[in-house]
Amino acid sequence: MIGIVDYGCGNLMSVANSLEFLGFDCFVSSDADKLSAAGGLILPGVGAFPAAMEMLEASGLVGCVKGFTRPLLGICLGMQLLFSVGEEVRECAGLGLVPGRVRLIDTELKLPHIGWNSLSLRGASPLFRGVPDGSFVYFVHSFAGAAENPADVAAVTDYGTEVLASVSRGNVHGCQFHPEKSGDTGLKILKNFAELCV
């Protein structure tokens, strides 16, 4: 059973619907005890980094997420929250599960970055098992993580500069893109994550 973290700041139902379509049991909850007992966690997120961290702290779920030892997936802003520090609006501490900072994308192209971009896979993340290099996924963001450890980088994309698209560090994974909006490729990535949780 996969828990989807409800802290008032995420696109919850589209993720839940995608998992259910794939045949995996999931639930949406703000209850730390229920979430801590899940086989895996998904941390979604939309909006600005500091506001999302404040909502996560106010929900009392920071300890639950930081202490989770089974597979954890951050999506979009949820991936950014995995990092040590965010620079959006003001400098703000993140969850610190992936060493690095979240910065405005340094590109001459228009921000936010909205649309389909191809992935350049790095390493051997279980998220991308059976996903061909160069597969397209859907992004909506202006900020992106910069991982301190190159081994944590699972995929990048190009948006006038190299942009971090995915991380994997132990049980912690992240997608800057929206797998739930990325067609068959996104469903395959969600399936790969869900299979880690059973």
pLDDT averaged per 10 residues, the chain (length 198): 91 92 96 97 93 94 96 97 96 97 97 98 94 98 97 98 98 98 98 96
Q: What is the pLDDT of residue 9?
A: 79
Q: What is the pLDDT of residue 141?
A: 97
Q: What is the pLDDT of residue 46?
A: 86
**Structural domain count, the chain:** 1
Distance CA 167, CA 155 (A): 7
DSSP state of 18: H
Q: What is the pLDDT of residue 116?
A: 98
pTM of the model: 0.96
| Catalytic residue set | 76, 178, 180
Q: What is the pLDDT of residue 117?
A: 98
CA-based radius of gyration for the chain? 15
Residue 14 near residue 42 (C-beta atoms within 8 A): no
Which domain range does residue 28 map to?
A: 2-196
Q: What is the pLDDT of residue 198?
A: 84
For 87, other C-beta atoms within 10 Å of its C-beta total 15
Q: Give me the CATH number covering residue 26.
A: 3.40.50.880
If you write DSSP's letter for every residue of 99-153 in order, what string do you get? EEEEEE---SS-SSEEEEEE-EE-TT-GGGTTPPTT-EEEEEESEEEEESSGGGE
- List all residues 6 or more positions away from 33 whose beta carbon is below 8 Å from its beta carbon: none
